[in-house]
A = this chain, B = another copy of it.
Amino acid sequence: MPPWGARAGRHHGHRVIEMDKIKVGILGASGYTGAELVRLLSCHPNVEIAALAGDRSAGQTLETVLPHLRMVDVPMLVKIDEVDYSGIDAVFCGLPHATTQEVVLKIPPHVKVFDISADFRLDNLDTYAEWYGGAHKAVDLQKEAVYGLTEFYREQIKSSRIIACPGCYPTTSLLPLVPLLQEGAIDSNRIIIDAKSGVSGAGRAEKQANLFSEVSEGVHAYGVGRHRHMPEIEQELSKAAGRDVTISFTPHLIPMNRGILATIYATLADGWTPQRLHGLLSGRFFNEPFISVLPFGDVPATRHVRGSNFAMIGVAQDRPTGHVILVSVTDNLVKGASGQAIQNFNLVFGLPEQTGLEQKPLFP
| Chain A residues close to B by CB (< 8 Å) | 1, 3-6, 32, 35, 38-39, 42-43, 66-72, 189-190, 192, 194, 196, 199-200, 204-208, 210-222, 224-226, 230, 246-250, 252, 254-259, 261, 263, 265, 282, 285-289, 291-293, 297, 299-307, 310, 312, 314, 316-320, 323, 325, 327, 354, 358-364
* Closest chain B residue to A258, Cβ basis: B364
Query: Do residues A39 and B299 form an inter-chain contact, with CB atoms below 8 A?
Result: no
> A72-B360, A224-B325, A360-B42 are known contacts. Are A248 and B320 too (CB-CB below 8 A)?
yes
Query: Do residues B263 and A305 form an inter-chain contact, with CB atoms below 8 A?
Result: no
Query: Do residues B291 and A4 form an inter-chain contact, with CB atoms below 8 A?
Result: yes
A220 contact set on B, CB distance < 8 A: 261, 299-303
A361 contact set on B, CB distance < 8 A: 39, 68-69
Query: Do residues A224 and B303 form an inter-chain contact, with CB atoms below 8 A?
Result: no
> A206-B208, A213-B32 are known contacts. Are A302 and B219 too (CB-CB below 8 A)?
yes
Query: Do residues A196 and B196 form an inter-chain contact, with CB atoms below 8 A?
Result: yes
Minimum C-beta distance from A68 to chain B (A): 4
Query: Do residues B325 and A190 form an inter-chain contact, with CB atoms below 8 A?
Result: no
A304 contact set on B, CB distance < 8 A: 67-68, 70, 218
A210 contact set on B, CB distance < 8 A: 211-213
A35 contact set on B, CB distance < 8 A: 363
- Interchain CB contact (< 8 A) of A265 among B192, B212, B230: B192
Give Cα A305 to B70, complex, Å: 10
Query: Do residues B317 and A217 form an inter-chain contact, with CB atoms below 8 A?
Result: no
Query: Do residues A213 and B192 form an inter-chain contact, with CB atoms below 8 A?
Result: no
Give Cα A71 to B357, complex, Å: 13
Query: Do residues B301 and A219 form an inter-chain contact, with CB atoms below 8 A?
Result: yes
Query: Do residues A303 and B196 form an inter-chain contact, with CB atoms below 8 A?
Result: no
> A255-B255, A303-B217, A304-B68 are known contacts. Are A286 and B5 too (CB-CB below 8 A)?
yes
* Closest chain B residue to A327, Cβ basis: B221
- Interchain CB contact (< 8 A) of A287 among B3, B32, B289: B3
Given contacts A218-B306, A224-B327, A225-B325, 19 further A-B contacts (CB under 8 A): A3-B286, A5-B286, A5-B287, A35-B363, A39-B360, A67-B300, A190-B320, A199-B213, A199-B216, A200-B364, A206-B207, A210-B213, A216-B257, A217-B256, A217-B303, A218-B301, A219-B254, A219-B301, A362-B362
A282 contact set on B, CB distance < 8 A: 5
Can you show 23 pairs from A to B with CB atoms below 8 A apart? A1-B354, A3-B289, A4-B287, A5-B282, A38-B360, A43-B358, A68-B306, A70-B304, A190-B190, A192-B265, A206-B206, A212-B212, A212-B215, A219-B256, A219-B301, A219-B302, A221-B263, A222-B299, A225-B325, A248-B318, A252-B261, A307-B307, A362-B362
A39 contact set on B, CB distance < 8 A: 360-363
